[in-house]
């Protein structure tokens, strides 16, 4: 995000006249609405906002947001975003990618944009499948996923986007899912983080991977399966009857029962978004034995890449006159007069 | 070549006007440094010159080995010099391996200067010599001057108390001192340079200066067996003005800065280290005060994508690489064509395919530049003929990119990138400005049409951040005018045609092709592009001196080609195209003009010699 003067817009101001071409029922619709609903609340300016995307279903996103938009090439959106932000740091840059675009063909760029800490919001729509190419398994597909390219089931282990992001040096990690009512809160937190903000959004591919996330996203029983993290609050779920505590012997997390609301007695951890050690445990916390960790897992800003680049340029330019004629004549020169050199 | 355009036909027959010296040693011996400083002294003596650094791909190849030899050749003299010279007159061989790999090129009767201190049993074995060539008479067709440079250097730097290894590092300065004596050169600029270079280490500065002086004194006083005479090559007549030396890489960097200034734009340079293109990044990173942002990306793809992103945001995006890196950038180049954003792509060509010959020169990326993309993806291509010419070509690339909203490829090669030549310092005021204006308000009444074209076929440049002009662009086919997604048959036809017409139309903004030596029409045209300029120019000059009807045409604008080129070529009975590839430009000329262009090809990683082209001219006219 940038320190801008908030302007007043409505959700309508962020809708384009283009027909949305996702499959009916696709989770992308819900994410689009969440973003369009959030932007006015942030006071964002359409003229100052750029959505940059790669290739895939998710990457059609910019066409549907009334702002500046750049639909680039497969996996490379972070590199384009870097050029845009270095050229004009005042722009608000949102990067939209998917599990194939951001974790497979573009994994390298995802790593480096996070490591450099470019100020932008990275929304990785994870549907655990290649949708636009008709359903092949993706780098986040679970082991055994059957697909046109893995008719006997996939044999490779899936990547974990949030663990990858943290390993790459990300300073903001959050999770949400398409139809979650909390998604706008997550997006706002990402926007307010100065630096690269990585948000994994589980997204239902209605055609090729239908209801893949129902095990934790289904409304029924959601409170038992979702752990919504809030800074300064104890890590409680199941209506406060369970919590996450630290197993100090194994140095792992564990689920504990909370009796009569006395979470302190049960050793439940208070979420500190700046605690990187806990963040490592949260991104690795397996769903099943544990609930799905959602919300802001980690948020500890550091100076941004573009600020460092600009500061360096200013420092290096200080007191130097950009005189082209002098530059061209720099170094050892000699003058030739009519009839020969003057030594 | 030389900025001075002395007519090669006018050269006198009195020899020697030019001398070719090759310094060869271990890659750790400082041969490139020695050559570079000798070049500077040639410049200061008013000689014209051309250089050819030839070094191994390994940074520190094992000492004494054949593949670890690094060489630097300079051709200098009191006449106009276009090439680094065919065969050396003098070979300075710092060890047996350097002798073995370079002596074959030496002119019969030429002079070998060898350091006997390095001709040890071990070094001879490493160079695969069974017996010492300095002693077995095998060098009898040359003059040999062999003495213990190592020992003489150690002696000269003794007072400074350096360790043996450090002391021996001064050998190159000793050798340089001797060379300066041989060619009657002033030592003072070198002494100043050493004092500046080792400003923080006075002992090293003094030791190197002592070695330099000792080498010079050795020439002055020692009995050199009558082999070596002091040669004084007078200054070459040149247009009056201020001169400096410049390499192609420096000239490209300066030209890009100048181009951005003429366009009134900040410049963004995205690069990834690759030989021989990295020097452009190294040069630009030091020019931040010219509103230059440099970005060393995580890979070649990110480098070009960031540059396109910067162009999208309103800066002049530039990326640079060599063949393999350009291959990686290809998909992004297609996006720049589709989104019609300005971009300059510099390719310092090297030997291919694949990793090929990283440090050797070739011109084999012409097909890649002109044809090498998916889809109908026209991109203008410009090629520089010499280090100094690369400055003007870089400016021209910037002009075309911003005026036509298109990526532009600038081709140089390893030879141009590394070679130095004297360069008349240009006056920025002599270059016409081409200021860019960004779209500030809707361009069709109440409507914004991001793909509405001007008379040249260019779309408006719209910066994000501009109020009221929000729009979306991308790699999917654009609708005529609106830029909306449109897959319909008629639209794709119209947009493909529009993109082609725009790039074809650039031909109207470039100068007509001239004949740089000879006549319009005749028996034979030798048509070149890029760094073959020097040898072609000299060879054609010599052939014309012999009375042969041959002319030299050198093409800068490879795509689109100058509008008059077809007619010009049809005015000759024969067309010969020398190039350092298997005949790529020849194919383009045949394709575009249906002329019977014949190839003269060379892919050894070395530039053409004048003699090779001269022989081909004579054969073509026989």
Per-residue pLDDT tens over the stretch A63-83: 999 999 999 999 999 999 999
Task: Classify A296 as helix, strand or coil.
Answer: strand
User: How do residues B563-605 score in pLDDT, each as one tens digit?
Assistant: 999 999 999 999 999 999 999 999 999 999 999 999 999 999 8
Find the closest chain A residue to B468 by CA distance.
Answer: A47
Respond yes or no on whether the N-terminal peptide bond of residue B560 is cis (omega within 30° of 0): yes
Mean of pLDDT values over B520-541: 96
The span from the first CA to the last CA of chain B, in angstroms, equals 29
The residue ranking higher by pLDDT, B75 or A292, is A292
Radius of gyration of chain B (CA): 26
Please judge whether A309 and B313 are an interchain contact, meaning their C-beta atoms are less than 8 angstroms apart: no
The span from the first CA to the last CA of chain A, in angstroms, equals 59
Mean of pLDDT values over B465-488: 97
The residue ranking higher by pLDDT, B67 or B374, is B374
Whole-prediction pTM: 0.89
Of the candidates B56, B127, B72, B60, which has an alpha carbon nearest to the alpha carbon of residue B96?
B127
| Spatial contact of B357 and B413, defined as CB atoms under 8 Å apart | no
Where does B515-609 have alpha helices with state H? 533-545, 565-570, 584-593
Mean of pLDDT values over B532-552: 95
C-alpha distance from A86 to closest chain B C-alpha (Å): 7
The set of residues, in sequence order, having a beta carbon less than 8 Å from that of A242 and lying 6+ positions away, is A224, A236, A255, A256, A257, A258
The closest CB to that of B313, out of A91, A329, A341, belongs to A91
Please judge whether B309 and A48 are an interchain contact, meaning their C-beta atoms are less than 8 angstroms apart: no
Please judge whether B43 and A334 are an interchain contact, meaning their C-beta atoms are less than 8 angstroms apart: yes
Q: Does the structure show a pLDDT above 90 at A186?
A: yes
Of the candidates A318, A302, A307, which has an alpha carbon nearest to the alpha carbon of residue A90?
A307
C-alpha distance from B63 to closest chain A C-alpha (Å): 33
The set of residues, in sequence order, having a beta carbon less than 8 Å from that of A179 and lying 6+ positions away, is A27, A30, A204, A217
Find the closest chain B residue to A71 by CA distance.
Answer: B474
Mean of pLDDT values over A99-121: 98
Q: Does the structure show a pLDDT above 70 at B234?
A: no
Q: Does the structure show a pLDDT above 60 at B484?
A: yes
- In the prediction, which pLDDT does A4 show? 65
- In the prediction, which pLDDT does B78 show? 74
Please judge whether A338 and B301 are an interchain contact, meaning their C-beta atoms are less than 8 angstroms apart: no
Which residue reads 């790039």 in tokens? B503
For the ranges A136-140, B77-81, B177-181, B601-605, which has the lowest average pLDDT?
A: B77-81
| Spatial contact of B5 and B514, defined as CB atoms under 8 Å apart | no
Q: What are phi and psi of A293, to 5 degrees?
A: -75, 120
Question: Whole-angstrom Cα distance, residue B416 to residue A275?
Answer: 54
Any B CB within 8 A of A80 CB:
yes
- Residue B354 Cα distances to B325, B327, B601, angstroms: 10, 10, 20
The set of residues, in sequence order, having a beta carbon less than 8 Å from that of A29 and lying 6+ positions away, is A20, A22
- In the prediction, which pLDDT does B10 show? 39
Q: Does the structure show a pLDDT above 70 at A3?
A: no
Task: Check residue B504 and give left, alpha or beta (phi > 0: left; psi -120 to 50: alpha).
Answer: alpha
Question: Whole-angstrom Cα distance, residue A30 to residue B131?
Answer: 82
Chain B residues in contact with A81 (beta carbon < 8 A): 309
Chain B residues in contact with A36 (beta carbon < 8 A): none
Any B CB within 8 A of A76 CB:
yes
The set of residues, in sequence order, having a beta carbon less than 8 Å from that of A6 and lying 6+ positions away, is A42, A43, A44
**pLDDT band for position B7 (cuts 50, 70, 90):** very low
| Spatial contact of B418 and B249, defined as CB atoms under 8 Å apart | yes
Question: Whole-angstrom Cα distance, residue B97 to residue B28?
Answer: 13
Question: Whole-angstrom Cα distance, residue A57 to residue A71?
Answer: 11
- In the prediction, which pLDDT does A275 show? 98
Please judge whether A71 and B473 are an interchain contact, meaning their C-beta atoms are less than 8 angstroms apart: yes
Please judge whether B243 and A109 are an interchain contact, meaning their C-beta atoms are less than 8 angstroms apart: no
| Spatial contact of A53 and A93, defined as CB atoms under 8 Å apart | no
How many other C-beta atoms lie within 10 A of the C-beta of residue B430? 6
Chain A residues in contact with B425 (beta carbon < 8 A): 328-329, 333
Please judge whether B474 and A72 are an interchain contact, meaning their C-beta atoms are less than 8 angstroms apart: yes
C-alpha distance from A219 to closest chain B C-alpha (Å): 36
Task: Classify B434 as helix, strand or coil.
Answer: coil
Of the candidates B585, B91, B152, B184, which has an alpha carbon nearest to the alpha carbon of residue B381?
B585
User: How do residues B380-418 score in pLDDT, each as one tens digit?
Assistant: 999 999 999 999 999 999 999 999 999 999 999 999 998
Question: Whole-angstrom Cα distance, residue A18 to residue B476?
Answer: 14
**pLDDT band for position B3 (cuts 50, 70, 90):** very low
Question: Whole-angstrom Cα distance, residue B393 to residue B382?
Answer: 7
Tell me what the pLDDT averaged over chain A comes to.
95
Of the candidates B273, B274, B256, which has an alpha carbon nearest to the alpha carbon of residue B265?
B256
Please judge whether A332 and B474 are an interchain contact, meaning their C-beta atoms are less than 8 angstroms apart: no
Mean of pLDDT values over B176-193: 84
Please judge whether A327 and B254 are an interchain contact, meaning their C-beta atoms are less than 8 angstroms apart: yes
How many Å separate Cα B88 from the centre of its chain? Answer: 21
Q: Does the structure show a pLDDT above 60 at B227?
A: no
Torsion angle defined by CA atoms of residues B83, B86, B87 and B90, in that order, rounded to the nearest 10 degrees: 0
What DSSP assignment string belongs to B31-53? Answer: HHHHHHHHHHHHHHTT-EEEEEE
Please judge whether B484 and A109 are an interchain contact, meaning their C-beta atoms are less than 8 angstroms apart: no
Which residue reads 């070695």 in tokens? B211
Angle at A171 between CA A167 and CA A175, to 5 degrees: 80
- In the prediction, which pLDDT does A339 show? 53
User: How do residues B12-50 score in pLDDT, each as one tens digit?
Assistant: 333 367 888 899 998 778 888 888 888 888 887 777 888
**pLDDT band for position B345 (cuts 50, 70, 90):** very high
- In the prediction, which pLDDT does B39 show? 84
Structure tokens at A98: 């998917």
Which residue reads 């655990």 in tokens? A128
Q: Does the structure show a pLDDT above 90 at B366?
A: yes
Question: Whole-angstrom Cα distance, residue A39 to residue A58?
Answer: 18
Question: Whole-angstrom Cα distance, residue B257 to residue B524?
Answer: 39
C-alpha distance from A275 to closest chain B C-alpha (Å): 29
Tell me what the pLDDT averaged over chain B comes to.
91
Of the candidates B112, B104, B34, which has an alpha carbon nearest to the alpha carbon of residue B70?
B34
User: How do residues A231-261 score in pLDDT, each as one tens digit?
Assistant: 999 999 999 999 999 999 999 999 999 999 9
Please judge whether A329 and B425 are an interchain contact, meaning their C-beta atoms are less than 8 angstroms apart: yes
- In the prediction, which pLDDT does B223 show? 56
Chain A / chain B CB contacts < 8 angstroms: 213
- Residue B127 Cα distances to B69, B101, B115, B464, angstroms: 10, 9, 14, 62
Question: Whole-angstrom Cα distance, residue B231 to residue B145?
Answer: 16
Paired sense of beta strands A252-257 and A292-299, if any: unpaired
C-alpha distance from B95 to closest chain A C-alpha (Å): 32
User: How do residues B148-165 score in pLDDT, each as one tens digit?
Assistant: 999 999 999 999 988 888
Mean of pLDDT values over B185-203: 86
C-alpha distance from A34 to closest chain B C-alpha (Å): 20
The set of residues, in sequence order, having a beta carbon less than 8 Å from that of B469 and lying 6+ positions away, is A47, B439, B441, B442, B448, B462
Question: Whole-angstrom Cα distance, residue A321 to residue A327?
Answer: 10
Q: Does the structure show a pLDDT above 60 at B6?
A: no
Q: Which neighbouring-strand residues pair with B473?
A: A70
**pLDDT band for position B232 (cuts 50, 70, 90):** low
Find the closest chain B residue to A115 by CA distance.
Answer: B298
Please judge whether A90 and B465 are an interchain contact, meaning their C-beta atoms are less than 8 angstroms apart: yes
| Spatial contact of B256 and B279, defined as CB atoms under 8 Å apart | no
Where is A27: in which H helix or E strand? helix A27-42
ipTM above 0.90, yes or no: yes
Question: Whole-angstrom Cα distance, residue A124 to residue A114?
Answer: 13
Q: Which of A46, A52, A80, A308 to mutate to test the interface with B (most CBs of B within 10 A)?
A: A80
Question: Whole-angstrom Cα distance, residue A74 to residue B424?
Answer: 46
- In the prediction, which pLDDT does B31 show? 85
- In the prediction, which pLDDT does B264 show? 98
C-alpha distance from B382 to closest chain A C-alpha (Å): 22
Q: Does the structure show a pLDDT above 60 at A219?
A: yes
Chain A residues in contact with B270 (beta carbon < 8 A): 83
Question: Whole-angstrom Cα distance, residue B80 to residue B537?
Answer: 11
Question: Whole-angstrom Cα distance, residue B282 to residue B253?
Answer: 9
User: How do residues B417-433 score in pLDDT, each as one tens digit?
Assistant: 988 888 999 999 999 99
- In the prediction, which pLDDT does B2 show? 35
């Amino acid at each position: 995000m940038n320190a801008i003067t908030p302007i007043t817009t409505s959700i309508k101001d962020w809708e384009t006249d283009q027909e949305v071409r996702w499959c009916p029922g696709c989770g992308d619709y819900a994410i689009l609405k969440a973003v369009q609903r959030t932007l006015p609340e942030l006071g964002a300016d359409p003229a100052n906002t750029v959505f940059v995307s790669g290739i895939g279903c998710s990457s059609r996103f910019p066409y549907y947001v009334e702002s500046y938009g750049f639909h680039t090439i497969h996996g490379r959106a972070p590199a384009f975003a870097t050029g845009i932000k270095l050229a004009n740091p005042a722009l608000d840059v949102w990067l939209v990618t998917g599990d194939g675009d951001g974790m497979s063909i573009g994994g390298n760029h995802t790593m480096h944009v996070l490591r450099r800490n470019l100020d932008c919001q990275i929304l990785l729509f994870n549907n655990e499948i290649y949708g636009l190419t008709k359903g092949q398994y993706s780098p986040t597909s679970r082991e055994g996923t059957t697909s046109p390219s893995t008719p006997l089931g996939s044999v490779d282990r899936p990547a974990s986007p949030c663990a990858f992001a943290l390993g790459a040096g990300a300073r903001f990690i959050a999770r949400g899912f398409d139809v979650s009512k909390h998604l706008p809160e997550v997006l706002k937190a990402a926007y307010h983080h100065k630096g690269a903000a990585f948000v994994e959004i589980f997204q239902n591919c209605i055609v090729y991977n239908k209801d893949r996330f129902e095990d934790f996203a289904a409304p029924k029983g959601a409170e038992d399966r979702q752990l919504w993290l809030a800074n300064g609050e104890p890590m409680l779920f199941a209506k406060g009857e369970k919590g996450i505590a630290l197993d100090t012997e194994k140095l792992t997390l564990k689920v504990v029962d909370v009796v009569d609301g006395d979470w302190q007695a049960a050793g439940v951890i208070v979420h500190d978004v700046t605690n990187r050690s806990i963040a490592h445990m949260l991104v690795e916390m397996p769903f099943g034995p544990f609930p799905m960790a959602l919300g802001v897992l980690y948020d500890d800003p550091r100076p941004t890449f573009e600020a460092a680049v600009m500061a360096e340029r200013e420092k290096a330019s200080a007191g130097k006159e950009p005189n082209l004629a002098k530059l061209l004549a720099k170094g050892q020169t000699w003058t030739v007069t009519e009839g020969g050199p003057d030594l | 070549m030389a900025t001075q355009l002395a007519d090669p036909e006018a050269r006198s027959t009195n020899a020697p006007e030019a001398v070719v010296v090759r310094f060869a040693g271990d890659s750790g011996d400082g041969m490139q440094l020695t050559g570079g400083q000798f070049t500077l002294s040639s410049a200061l003596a008013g000689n014209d010159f051309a250089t050819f650094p030839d070094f191994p791909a390994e940074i520190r190849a094992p000492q004494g080995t054949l593949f670890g030899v690094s060489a630097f050749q300079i051709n200098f003299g009191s006449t106009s010099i276009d090439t680094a010279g065919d065969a050396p007159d003098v070979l300075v061989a710092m060890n047996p391996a350097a002798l073995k790999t370079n002596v074959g090129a030496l002119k019969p009767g030429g002079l070998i200067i060898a350091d006997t201190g390095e001709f040890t049993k071990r070094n001879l074995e490493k160079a695969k010599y069974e017996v010492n060539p300095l002693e077995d008479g095998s060098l009898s067709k040359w003059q040999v001057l062999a003495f213990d440079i190592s020992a003489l250097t150690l002696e000269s730097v003794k007072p400074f108390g350096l360790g043996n290894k450090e002391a021996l590092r001064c050998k190159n300065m000793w050798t340089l001192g001797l060379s300066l004596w041989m060619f009657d050169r002033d030592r003072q600029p070198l002494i100043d340079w050493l004092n500046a270079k080792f400003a923080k280490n006075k002992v090293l500065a003094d030791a190197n200066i002592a070695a330099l002086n000792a080498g010079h004194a050795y020439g002055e006083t020692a009995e050199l067996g009558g082999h070596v005479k002091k040669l004084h090559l007078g200054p070459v007549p040149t247009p009056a003005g201020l001169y400096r030396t410049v390499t192609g890489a420096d000239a490209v960097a300066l030209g890009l800065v100048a181009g951005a200034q003429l366009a009134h734009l900040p410049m963004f340079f995205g690069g990834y280290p690759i030989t021989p293109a990295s020097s452009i990044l190294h040069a630009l990173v030091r020019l931040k005060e010219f509103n230059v942002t440099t970005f060393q990306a995580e890979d070649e793809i990110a480098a070009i994508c960031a540059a396109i992103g910067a162009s999208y945001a309103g800066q002049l995006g530039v990326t640079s690489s060599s063949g393999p890196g350009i291959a990686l950038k290809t998909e992004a180049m297609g996006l720049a064509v589709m989104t019609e954003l300005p971009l300059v792509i510099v390719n310092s060509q090297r030997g291919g395919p694949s990793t090929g010959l990283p440090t050797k020169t070739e011109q084999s990326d012409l097909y890649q530049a002109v044809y090498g993309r998916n889809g109908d993806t026209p991109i203008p291509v410009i090629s520089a003929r010499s280090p100094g010419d690369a400055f003007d070509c870089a400016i021209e690339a910037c002009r075309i990119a911003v005026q036509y909203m298109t990526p532009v490829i600038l081709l140089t090669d390893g030879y141009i990138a590394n070679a130095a030549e004297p360069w008349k310092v240009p006056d920025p005021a002599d270059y016409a400005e081409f200021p860019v204006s960004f779209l500030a308000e809707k361009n069709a009444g109440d409507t914004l049409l991001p793909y509405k074209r001007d008379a040249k076929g260019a779309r408006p440049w719209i910066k994000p951040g501009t109020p009221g002009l929000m729009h979306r662009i991308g790699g999917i086919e654009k609708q005529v005018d609106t830029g909306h997604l449109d897959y319909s048959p008629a639209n794709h036809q119209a947009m493909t045609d529009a993109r082609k017409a725009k790039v074809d139309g650039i031909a109207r903004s470039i100068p007509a092709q001239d004949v740089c030596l000879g006549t319009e029409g005749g028996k034979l045209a030798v048509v070149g592009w890029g760094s073959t300029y020097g040898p072609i120019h000299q060879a054609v000059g010599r052939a014309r001196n012999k009375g042969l009807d041959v002319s030299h045409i050198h093409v800068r604008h490879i795509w689109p080609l100058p509008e008059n080129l077809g007619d010009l070529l049809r005015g000759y009975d024969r067309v010969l195209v020398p190039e350092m590839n298997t005949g790529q430009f020849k194919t383009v000329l045949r394709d575009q003009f249906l002329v019977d262009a014949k190839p003269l090809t060379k892919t050894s990683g070395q530039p053409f010699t004048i003699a090779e082209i001269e022989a081909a001219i004579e054969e073509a006219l026989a």
